[in-house]
Amino acid sequence: MRFLIVRTEIRAAADTDIAAVWADGGRLRDETTAPEPRRQVVHAEDRDAALLLARALASVGAVRAGRHRVKVLPIEDPDPGPWYVNRT
């Protein structure tokens, strides 16, 4: 399985927004509608390589200071379609 390693900025949230979301039981951040701004994107072919790259990106000063975060996202392999024949 392939992986995408992304370093993003952390968006600040106001105390009133946090209190409103806490009271309603909703989400403060929804990555599907408004993703955090990306700073760096790296691709890895397997999990071990992805974790190694994530550790390297986590050593960046902005991540250690709490201004950025590192995410490891699995990427599904594309469906080969009905015409694919596995001959193994």
Residues whose CB falls within 8 Å of the CB of residue 74, separated by 6 or more in sequence, listed in order: 1, 2, 3
Where does the pLDDT of residue 11 fall: very low under 50, low under 70, confident under 90, or very high at 90 and above? confident
Rounded to 5 degrees, φ, ψ at 59 are -85, -5
In whole angstroms, give the CA distance from residue 22 to residue 20.
Answer: 5
Question: pLDDT tens, 57-84?
Answer: 999 999 999 999 999 999 976 666 666 6
Residues whose CB falls within 8 Å of the CB of residue 13, separated by 6 or more in sequence, listed in order: 28, 29
The residue among 57 and 37 whose pLDDT is bigger is 57
Six token digits for residue 12: 């600040």
Q: What is the pTM of this model?
A: 0.67
44 beta partners:
3
